[in-house]
Structure formats: structure tokens, C-alpha cells
Amino acid sequence: MDKKPFEYAPAPESRALVSIKPQYGLFINGSWVEPLFKEKFATINPANEEVLSKISQAGKSDVDRAVKAARDAYTKTWSKMPAKERGKYLFRIARIMQERAREFAVLESLDNGKPIRESRDVDVPLAAAHFFYHAGWADKLDYAGLGNSPKPHGVVGQIIPWNFPVLMLAWKIAPALATGNTVVLKPAETTPLTALLFAEVCQQAELPAGVVNIITGDGVTGSTLVNHPGVDKIAFTGSTEVGKLIARSIAVTGKSATLELGGKAANIVFEDAAIDQAVEGIVNGIFFNQGHVCCAGSRLIIQENIHDEVLEKLKRRMALIRVGDPLDKNTDLGAINSAAQLAKIKELSTAGDAEGAFRWSPECELPKKGFWFAPTIFTGVTQSHRIAREEIFGPVLSILTFRTPQEAIEKANNTPYGLSAGIWSEKGSRILWASKELKAGVIWANTFNKFDPASPFGGYKESGWGREGGRHGLAAYLKGAK
Ligand code: NAI
Ligand code: MG
């Protein structure tokens, strides 16, 4: 194996860009309030286990207050405001997020463990782009082909995961506000800090009180929000397991829901693919954001006759992945988000060994403190292996092979999920054929993990219900719209 060409000097982004309070209350009705329920929990930096702040666990009475604030804001202010005015607030939020982009990026990397290169160049710019995009829609909903004067649901309860905290917040809040709904949002318990910074942005934008409420807490708080009778619609991103619980608990309540759940995407490399580009796409597909990505290309399916060549190039490329300090601008792979997620990745990887697949990682030194996992591939994987079926949600790639294009499609579709897929081929007709045959909501050809606010995102089967982004995403926040 090739040695690393040279060592890099450390290039850390300044932490002084952010000021983190020792503890946070809840953001309800436009101001910070102390929770009625006194319990607090810590959010840590997963790269070194340092406690960053103490966060409030919102209880039932806190959820009540937040839902009431959202309802009052909906009836008294937001639903009465001309759509053009609503749009102005969204534009203002988008601009403030851009102005405070470095602060958001550093805070995201500290709380989540993702490399600053990604939070700075992907998460935060895309979050701002979602607000800009939806700001433009606010006064044009009558022309979106979604029916005549489509109406908002009212109060929306939104629950987001820890893998893209501020980006998922934007995916949820921007379309909800643009369509005239008000919001109670609960960030994930390991990554609440950028949502709490966003509360400050709402204040700075002089958003009317109660239009956005941010409450923190774990799954118990999430479940209280889902089951609150004052909530008209639920938007959730997270595990399929919790998505199923939510679907069950809102059945026959009349609440509508969008559920963005897990995935086990196939990334298919055909024999005529441009191999070097495909290798870059494979690396981006599985190692972006430590593989904590619902649409990650976690099942690589390679045509048998090019398997050895792809594998050799992939290993050479993986040896160059820099693992370490998320705040270092040269880091490619940061920390695993939590001890619990690390345990899950280890458990599934051990199952891969036990079931007879072959594990390989490049030589790399992992930091002593914090939660870390080396970039890893498994070859010799068969469809019955757990690592081919279950979402690992970490930097672990399962590699399978195929002989005929038909076999590639059968393997790719052999999953309870259906969120995304990738195709690598130089042949246009093959790309069109394969994308028609693949049962996945998003299909990338000769690229991977490309996101855009104008493009709808969502899955089939156990990957969830509904779409976010684009015109389809607006429909989810409007009554009776298709
Ligand atoms: P999770 O689904 O428990 O957490 C996601 C969000 O849901 C968090 O805000 C959490 O507080 C909330 N939540 C938990 N239980 C709830 C309930 N009963 N009612 C309402 N809200 C609830 O996911 P977790 O435990 O953090 O991760 C477990 C696995 O889920 C991961 O290993 C990964 O495979 C998958 N996952 C998928 C995500 C995706 O983007 N599709 C995101 C996060 C996790
Ligand atoms: Mg944290």
C-alpha cells in the first residue's frame, strides 16, 4: 500500500467564533423561558467528550406552552399576514444565516463531530439556500399547481435527527413557514446547539413571536409533541423504528405526516464506468459525514469483471482519507456522533466478520478520546449478511458483485428501504434503463450525495412517506395539495 505523500500541519478553524452558554432554556413565544420541568442533560463534543452545555429536557407542560404559542401565532398573526410579508421574513432569515455562516459551521462541527469542511461548505450554505428558495415561493403558492389558494395545516410539530442538525432544521422550517404554518421544532438530544442558535436568528430577524418555537429534549419530548392534540401535522426525520411508532400513534387522529427514514442505498458500478470518477463517488457516497447519512451509498455493487481494479483504486484512495479533529480544515472524516452510534457500528461490523465477510481499513491512528471509527470496507458480502441488509449509519461500506445488469437491479432492489441509489456508467441508455428499474426516491448518475432545495427528496417502502424540497415538498405543508 502506498504511504501518505506528506504530513499536513494542523489548520484548525477558530473556536472563538462561537459563544456557547453554560446552559439553555427553551425558545417559546419569541423568548427564552426556563422549563417548568427542571431536568437538564449535557450535550458533548463527540471528538473529545468535552461537555459543551447543559440542555433543557422539555416536559409535557413545556410542550403545551410551545404548542399554544404556535397556535396563537398562527391564528392571530401568521395566517393573517400577506404572503409577500411572510416571504420577507424568510429572506431575512436566509441572509442572517449567511452572515453568521462561520459561527453556525463551527458550532455544528463542535456539537456533531462532522468536519468543518463539510459544515462550512455543505450544511450551512444549503440550509441558507433552503430559506432563500422557500422565501421565493411564499407569495407564489397559487401558481405552484397545488390547487386554488391552498391552505396551511396550522401548527406543525417537527422532529429532527443529529446527522445534519441545522440542514434538517432548514428542510423542516423553511417550507412550513413559506406555506403559512407555525412550528414547534425539537432537535436531537446530542446536537441541539445550532437549533438554539437559530432561535437567536429568529429574534434577530424580528420574526413574530410564536411562529417558530424550539424545544429540546429526548424521544420522550418528541413523543409528547407527536401526541399533542394541538398539533395538525408531524414532520419527522430519523430512524425507521421511531417513524413506525409515529405512524402508529397518529393513525385515526386526522394528523398528517411526512416521515423521512432510513436507507441502504445501492451504488452500482457498471463495467463501462469511468473508474477514477466512480471511486471518488464511492468515497463521497459512504464517507461523507462519517456515513451518518440516510441516503449514503452503503452497498457498493460492482460488475464482477472490474471488481479487482475498482477495489485496488478504492483502497489506494482510502489510504489518503484524513481522520481527526473536526475543526481542522484538512480533516475528511470526523468523529462518530455518539457512544451509542459507535456501539451500533461496532456491533454490525463484528457481525460482518462473524458472517464471513472480509474487513479492510487503511492504516490510521484514531484519537484516544472521543468516538472514532476508521473508514472500513467489507468484501465478499452476500445479500443475506446483516451488513448488506441493515443500516450501519457509519463509515462502513459493504461490497457485492454482479454479472448482468439485471442481476445488479435485483440486488439493488432487494432491501426493505428505497431512499436513494447511484449508477456509474458512460452509457446514457443504461443509465436511463437502470434508473427506471431501481425502486428509490432519488437516483444519482455519475455523481452521489448531490442536494438542492429545488429537488424533491424522499423514499419508498420503509424509507418513509412524502417528499421534502421542491414543489412536492410544498404540497406536504398544504391541505389537500398534491
Ligand atoms: P431516532 O429516530 O431515535 O432519533 C431521531 C429523532 O427522533 C431525535 O430527535 C429523537 O429525540 C426523536 N425521537 C426518538 N424517539 C422518539 C419517539 N418515540 N417519538 C418522537 N420522537 C422521537 O434515531 P437514533 O436513535 O438517534 O438513531 C438510531 C438509528 O436510526 C441510527 O443508527 C440510524 O440507523 C437511524 N437514523 C436515521 C436517520 C436518518 O436521517 N434517516 C437519522 C438518525 C438516525
Ligand atoms: Mg453534541
**Closest C-alpha among 112, 107, 105, 118 to residue 449:** 118
On the CB side of 146, CA atoms within 13 Å amount to 23
Pocket of ligand 1 (CB under 6 A): 159-163, 186, 188-189, 218-219, 222-223, 226, 237-239, 242, 245-246, 261-262, 294, 341, 344, 391, 393
- The strand ranges marked E within 304-441 are 358-360, 376-379, 396-402, 420-424
Residue-by-residue pLDDT tens, the chain, 482 positions: 455 567 889 999 999 999 999 999 999 999 999 998 788 999 999 999 999 999 999 999 999 999 999 999 999 999 999 999 999 999 999 999 999 999 999 999 999 999 999 999 999 999 999 999 999 999 999 999 999 889 999 999 999 999 999 999 999 999 999 999 999 999 999 999 999 999 999 999 999 999 999 999 999 999 999 999 999 999 999 999 999 999 999 998 999 999 999 999 999 999 999 999 999 999 999 999 999 999 999 999 999 999 999 999 999 999 999 999 999 999 999 999 999 999 999 999 999 999 999 999 999 999 999 999 999 999 999 999 999 999 999 999 999 999 999 999 999 999 999 999 999 999 999 999 999 999 999 999 999 999 999 999 999 999 999 999 999 999 999 997 76
Best CATH choice for the domain 264-443 from the list 3.40.1780.10, 3.40.50.620, 3.30.420.10, 3.40.309.10: 3.40.309.10
Q: Which atom of ligand 1 is nearest to the CA of 393?
A: 34
Rounded to whole angstroms, the maximal C-alpha distance in the chain is 66
Instruction: Tell me the H-state helices in 163-239.
Output: 165-178, 193-204, 219-226
User: For residue range 116-135, what is the model confidence (pLDDT) as tens digits?
Assistant: 999 999 999 999 999 999 99
| pLDDT given at position 5 | 61
d(CA 241, CA 387): 18
Domain parsing of the chain, residue ranges: 13-260+462-477, 264-443
d(CA 330, CA 319): 15
Angle between helices 428-437 and 405-413 (to 10 degrees): 30
Active site residue 294: yes
**Closest C-alpha among 477, 456, 451 to residue 164:** 451
d(CA 26, CA 252): 31
Ligand 2 center to 458 CA (angstroms):
26
3-state DSSP call for residue 70?
helix
Q: Which atom of ligand 1 is nearest to the CA of 243?
A: 2
User: For residue range 392-417, what is the model confidence (pLDDT) as tens digits?
Assistant: 999 999 999 999 999 999 999 999 99
CATH number of 13-260+462-477: 3.40.605.10
User: For residue range 133-189, what is the model confidence (pLDDT) as tens digits?
Assistant: 999 999 999 999 999 889 999 999 999 999 999 999 999 999 999 999 999 999 999
Q: Which of 13, 260, 391, 468 is catalytic?
A: 260
DSSP string, 455-468: S-B--SGGGEES-B
d(CA 336, CA 375): 11
17 contacts: CB under 8 Å, gap ≥ 6: 102, 103, 106
One fold for both 13-260+462-477 and 264-443?
Answer: no
d(CA 43, CA 55): 7
